[in-house]
Structure 1
């Protein structure tokens, strides 16, 4: 470790930083000075503060103060020297800044450079991501800058270099930005393994994470610092951020709401809000909604052409950067966006944020609200635009949860062995490793602390021989064992592995291009596969006509008008979080007891009154089941209020358990509030309840039997096989399609199932389906809650307001949107007449 500067030098540096800070912004917040002092004391930990309060400077100025105290100042006599010469004289790599999105690197680099230039620090600062120019990459292979911004994937690539120990020989600090975004994913596990490697070389390495909107702060800090670390220092932002959450209330509230029909009807109320703000962001939950709202705004206000834009992850890099620059400098009046603008980038000019549809989570609403008033002391305001009336209850519930501090937690994966296999090959490609030394190292990463000797030996056998089933195929022997040391010796293996590093499981995508060659972005392969030449669709804000699909490219021309399809991306069925679901149950109980709090609950009072009159409005400790007969058959409506993801598992589970008592087929529909089971004959509900319909016993076995668990596991295995290096995605310009990847991984899945059932990656696929896709833990928790609740079983003559959206969701799968709208209108009129 480099000798630390004297206390007097540190004190002088702090005064210089404080002076610069006060001259440009204001006096630093207490949490910022706490972070600087903690860094000077050699501590590691987590800085937790809301968006726009100054986390970046809290973390960055600690190392800057250290550099000033060491006298690493630019020589005024050499002010005119070239950047190349100045870079050569700058200190070696000292600080590593890890960002979850490479799109954030440019904005973050600008923010970090400002104090370096103002204080005259002789540090070089650069980014290293997939977007970095080849010229900069080339010079970084020879010498890294003093501070390097990178992603988890690029850091793993650096560890695959044979000279990586020398490159990181002077590293003193790692800062992980937006740690909450990485924590609950395999990218977080990948980051943990990389940090474990760096700490082995640099035992006194200081590690700091930046996080906002997270419910399990202590666990997040402990995970970041590793299993062997001392108690982390957790620094919370001093001044609590002020938020204002309101809603656009529909002029009339239909007593039989249904999903999605209300959104664009609110356009006339959205326009004055956008008009009155210098700059605003309108967030949606899906990319298809983004396209529709952008077109609607442009059609209503054609004079805004060039002043409004859209932003989502499928757009090309240049298009996204143009939009981000327009927001930062205040040139754009409104941007319609998905979660692609949720993180990191500071858009100070943004005055208003609108959220179309329910945010589905408290943390997500906080994050998006924080895009406005993105400065200390300012109020962040978000206006919610419901797509159906019951979403007003979710808005009221989210506001109550925010005030109570009920923020969602993010749980790190436990022992994702596909990530461990990839990391082992990475280290074998870099420095090489010995069995016991690397095992000891990986166990210091929290997510891998419980890896057993047997599991580690299986991983080593897998990378050296391919495991039991693949030992006769030389291409799966990627690592050689020579005299106790594991190394990659084959150049083809090395090249393929470097190209495959990473854990991001992107949806299969097709590039969209004009016939003349201009690239528009990417769209899901599943969407394009449903289109025929001549079909029209909206993309990147333009009406397009498909000409042909060839070599993973959709060739298009401009269409004069569009009444056809809109691209559908995954994410449209985002589930309600457990925290928000609990808040919704509390709001309904308050409404049942006559305690309407807030304009949203007052607006939906006609719906709730009719629900109470025709059936019941359930409280937190009640479980409502409604039984109804229509011309479609016999309906059971269950209302656990646990979110769509849990309800998908419950619907399949209950259909299976009921079918064991009666020979019939159930049609299942779910939304965030309930589950519908439809059958041609009455279901023996009472007998099933008596025999354990709500029991958590044999939950995993029954869920696996009730769903097409094998097919789901096969698709999950595609991601695992790619991460573990079993399948290769292809070289640039010759990438494999999702269909090819599925065929390759599906064949391997069948091989393991038949010949190597003990294969740990094979087992991992099933576990991930249950634990992450179906959230088995939350399923069990919900069943336990329902088992304790007071059961209310009502016979209803007709569908109630809570049941109606489930009916519509089931019909949506069978009829076109035009026919659906007509049919829903007829059903609504009949029910309204019955309601009086």
Structure 2
């Protein structure tokens, strides 16, 4: 890859004094110097736009405009709320004004044809983005027509857009891909001047990002002079981000423009009154409600971020119970709530009528709320970049500082915050690992292009190889993809429904209307657990809950949802009917994908902070509060340095416990615990149970495990890791479950039509059938190989497991045999007990254990 460092444009700018989505209150008139018969000066018009707003363009904004006018593409990297939107939006406006300087020829009733496509990762961002862009058009009296096109756009507007596209359009990756299936739009797309991708860091490294890369490559083919720009914040691997955005062949003429990457941010912890020396996951949690309420009281408006939708439901209820006088002033926001509910909450934040909103990452991106002056983070966000992103949701007023208060749910999360602060200070933000050649996305793209006018094999192959994701696509992979969409591959050739694409006069096309309809209804790469709509018996929709949760809820059970306690009355097809309830909930909905993985960068930071503690260096309020806990850990066992692996061997009433502390993250530990248990059982027949968290894992056995013998035999070796994973875990079943997403994206199964979604069990049964057919009759099927690789990486984090073992291989293994469970091991022991005991019994058991351990700690 061409070295990009020489082409970066580092800029030392002041903090932008305005939010790009702030309201514009300028008079809608041309400058006094520009009458309808005079030619305008575009730069002067833009400068006046800023002057009336008592502002000036910042250096990185001017640099972006100049670079754009020079005909280049690029990536703007700047902190949230520093004017990135105006930086990339003004370029196309200036370009058009330079070519059309006579306002007397501007006709708002006949706006220019398509000039700009603005791609946003979330439909929720489209409204705010469109409003900010429209304000600039209005205040400069430009005859541009700006519209949105997402899944929420009215059918009547979409129909009009099919005849004539607006001058600028805000859309999503899915809606953009859907546009590519309409051949009639291609003449207008060929006139496109620029495509801008917002929040590129959120798409990078995902299948939606790959889908966007393929769409951009198609747009560049339709419009060879197209300029591609991206907007990004909180990202480590900027070179790869730029290459993925503009394509590897175009990076020589593309730039990275740095704006204000270090906005003034204040991070601090809301420390609990007492740090218990034997912490467990979630034990602080809602105990901190009074302290959090005090912070909320002092702020004008705040956002309370939780890492899961389940946590938001609980915190909303607890906060409202603590401050019932805030009824109507606090709200709930997460992705499973009905659109109307979310819009009401967002409007309340914009207007400043809400005191606080408990939310998930549904409010992480782009939408700017000027009134918000404090962000409260519940629990560790597991990454420095995510912490900085969330902090940026506050402080959008001129000269304001972004403030984030951190609420630990586990004492050890204080060390995570201390490590994250070090990473932010040193500029060591997480990178987004890229996806290479996902065959399910490619096969979907082939059908998209075949519907949208067709393609010749060699031409489309060359186009696809212009993307970063598929630049090394082999001829074998390409032929597999072609064969798969033409006849379903070697195993499905006998079934007509899988013959979606036909070769007609040298071009691959789709002629069947059924195929077109099914494909357009199922375009996209977002595949989640099947969901059910939750409705009141007397009308009104609350949102959606995943089918897997409702399958475990009985009629009459009460659960928290949308900030209310409801009782399940009945389930009809894909709708669950509820009524309001009183009392205590029987359950809280659990959504898939709720647990955030600990980033590798933050894991390294944790190890560094522990080493400093082991050396007696406690820097910062978080680490100072952890001193008694870590001193007891050192007294009873050991505090591991960054180049050490601590193993604790303890006998308890439940059996023999082996605690391992690699600090590699929960997902990697789940796989490592199974692999190490398997390796020891090969030496001596023994059964293990295990529990994991982000810091380590515990193996429990009814008799002593052959630890030293296993270490001598290569227990911690990275050799044969993949083979041992296959033998120790039910990887085949995990692949079978994971194949459903690939089958849906590749078009083997369909989720149904709007309002008539197929039940999850039907989709899973169908995908299982394809999985077994491919395993038995087509074991070299590339979709099958992709599934196995995704399970290894996404579900088992195999690369992190290998990295951890290679690091451990060069580290010193420290074995201790403490008499009692240590502070570091206590949380793991609780997680193991959690699976066997009810909540009430567990709480009683934990309380007794803590009392006994505290007594022992005090006595010594």
Answer yes or no: is 1:192 the counterpart of 2:213: yes
* Kept after mapping to 1: 8 A contact 2:40/2:103: no
Q: How does 1:325-474 map to 2 (within 5 A)?
A: 325-375=347-397, 377-474=399-496
* Kept after mapping to 1: 8 A contact 2:529/2:548: no
Distance in 1 separating the partners of 2:597 and 2:481: 34
Answer yes or no: is 1:159 the counterpart of 2:180: yes
Structure 1 residues 801 and 75: alpha-carbon distance in aligned structure 2, compared to 1, 3 A threshold: same
Answer yes or no: is 1:148 the counterpart of 2:169: yes
Distance in 2 separating the partners of 1:387 and 1:72: 59
1:483 Cα deviation after fit = 2.2
1:76 Cα deviation after fit = 10
| 1:59 matched residue in structure 2 | 88
Query: Over residues 729-764 of structure 1, what are the superposed CA-to-partner deviations in whole Å (9 max), with x where a residue is unaligned?
Result: 112222111111100000000000001111110111
Distance in 2 separating the partners of 1:10 and 1:562: 70
* Kept after mapping to 1: 8 A contact 2:558/2:565: yes
* Kept after mapping to 2: 8 A contact 1:53/1:375: no
Structure 2: 5+ residue runs without aligned partners?
Answer: 1-37
* Kept after mapping to 2: 8 A contact 1:283/1:338: yes
Answer yes or no: is 1:298 the counterpart of 2:327: no
* Kept after mapping to 2: 8 A contact 1:315/1:520: yes
| 2:576 matched residue in structure 1 | 554
Query: Over residues 343-370 of structure 1, what are the superposed CA-to-partner deviations in whole Å (9 max), with x where a residue is unaligned?
Result: 0001111011100011111111001100
Instruction: Specify the SS of the correspondent of 1:433.
Output: coil
Answer yes or no: is 1:114 the counterpart of 2:135: yes
Answer yes or no: is 1:310 the counterpart of 2:332: yes
Q: How does 1:203-352 map to 2 (within 5 A)?
A: 203-231=224-252, 232-238=254-260, 240-352=262-374
Instruction: Specify the SS of the correspondent of 1:278.
Output: coil
Distance in 2 separating the partners of 1:495 and 1:198: 23
Distance in 2 separating the partners of 1:498 and 1:672: 41
Distance in 1 separating the partners of 2:116 and 2:311: 40
Q: How does 1:554-703 map to 2 (within 5 A)?
A: 554-703=576-725
Q: Which stretch of structure 1 is more off in the superposition, 774-783 or 322-331?
A: 774-783
Distance in 1 separating the partners of 2:702 and 2:39: 78
Query: TM-score, normalised on structure 1?
Result: 0.96
Structure 1 residues 444 and 25: alpha-carbon distance in aligned structure 2, compared to 1, 3 A threshold: farther
Distance in 2 separating the partners of 1:810 and 1:152: 42
* Kept after mapping to 2: 8 A contact 1:188/1:412: no
| 2:223 matched residue in structure 1 | 202
Distance in 1 separating the partners of 2:784 and 2:50: 54
Answer yes or no: is 1:19 the counterpart of 2:48: yes
Instruction: Specify the SS of the correspondent of 1:327.
Output: helix
1:11 Cα deviation after fit = 9.8
Answer yes or no: is 1:721 the counterpart of 2:743: yes
Query: Over residues 430-478 of structure 1, what are the superposed CA-to-partner deviations in whole Å (9 max), with x where a residue is unaligned?
Result: 1100110100110001100111111111111111111111000111111
Out of 818, 831, 836, the position equivalent to 2:853 is 831
Structure 1: 5+ residue runs without aligned partners?
Answer: 1-8, 79-85
Distance in 1 separating the partners of 2:574 and 2:74: 45
Distance in 1 separating the partners of 2:501 and 2:705: 57
Q: Which stretch of structure 1 is more off in the superposition, 292-301 or 21-30?
A: 21-30
Out of 29, 38, 48, the position equivalent to 2:58 is 29
Answer yes or no: is 1:510 the counterpart of 2:532: yes
| 2:34 matched residue in structure 1 | none
Instruction: Specify the SS of the correspondent of 2:469.
Output: helix
Answer yes or no: is 1:784 the counterpart of 2:813: no
Distance in 1 separating the partners of 2:483 and 2:47: 56
Instruction: Specify the SS of the correspondent of 2:823.
Output: coil
Out of 40, 59, 68, the position equivalent to 1:39 is 68
Distance in 2 separating the partners of 1:394 and 1:365: 11
Query: Over residues 549-599 of structure 1, what are the superposed CA-to-partner deviations in whole Å (9 max), with x where a residue is unaligned?
Result: 220111100002223211112344322111111111111111111111111
Answer yes or no: is 1:129 the counterpart of 2:158: no
Answer yes or no: is 1:762 the counterpart of 2:805: no
* Kept after mapping to 1: 8 A contact 2:524/2:745: yes
Instruction: Specify the SS of the correspondent of 2:358.
Output: strand
Structure 1 residues 718 and 616: alpha-carbon distance in aligned structure 2, compared to 1, 3 A threshold: same
1:111 Cα deviation after fit = 0.6
Structure 1 residues 567 and 113: alpha-carbon distance in aligned structure 2, compared to 1, 3 A threshold: same
Distance in 2 separating the partners of 1:77 and 1:619: 69
Distance in 1 separating the partners of 2:40 and 2:627: 61
Instruction: Specify the SS of the correspondent of 1:555.
Output: strand
1:681 Cα deviation after fit = 1.3
Q: Which stretch of structure 1 is more off in the superposition, 66-75 or 142-151?
A: 66-75
Structure 1 residues 677 and 810: alpha-carbon distance in aligned structure 2, compared to 1, 3 A threshold: same
1:771 Cα deviation after fit = 2.1
Distance in 1 separating the partners of 2:224 and 2:106: 38
1:715 Cα deviation after fit = 1.4
Q: Which stretch of structure 1 is more off in the superposition, 696-705 or 535-544?
A: 696-705
1:10 Cα deviation after fit = 12
1:605 Cα deviation after fit = 1.1
| 1:753 matched residue in structure 2 | 775
Query: Over residues 617-665 of structure 1, what are the superposed CA-to-partner deviations in whole Å (9 max), with x where a residue is unaligned?
Result: 0111111000011111111100001111111111111111111111111
| 1:3 matched residue in structure 2 | none
| 1:818 matched residue in structure 2 | 840
Distance in 1 separating the partners of 2:298 and 2:557: 38
Distance in 1 separating the partners of 2:124 and 2:474: 38
Distance in 2 separating the partners of 1:65 and 1:200: 24
Structure 1 residues 207 and 133: alpha-carbon distance in aligned structure 2, compared to 1, 3 A threshold: same
Distance in 2 separating the partners of 1:73 and 1:301: 60
Distance in 1 separating the partners of 2:196 and 2:399: 25
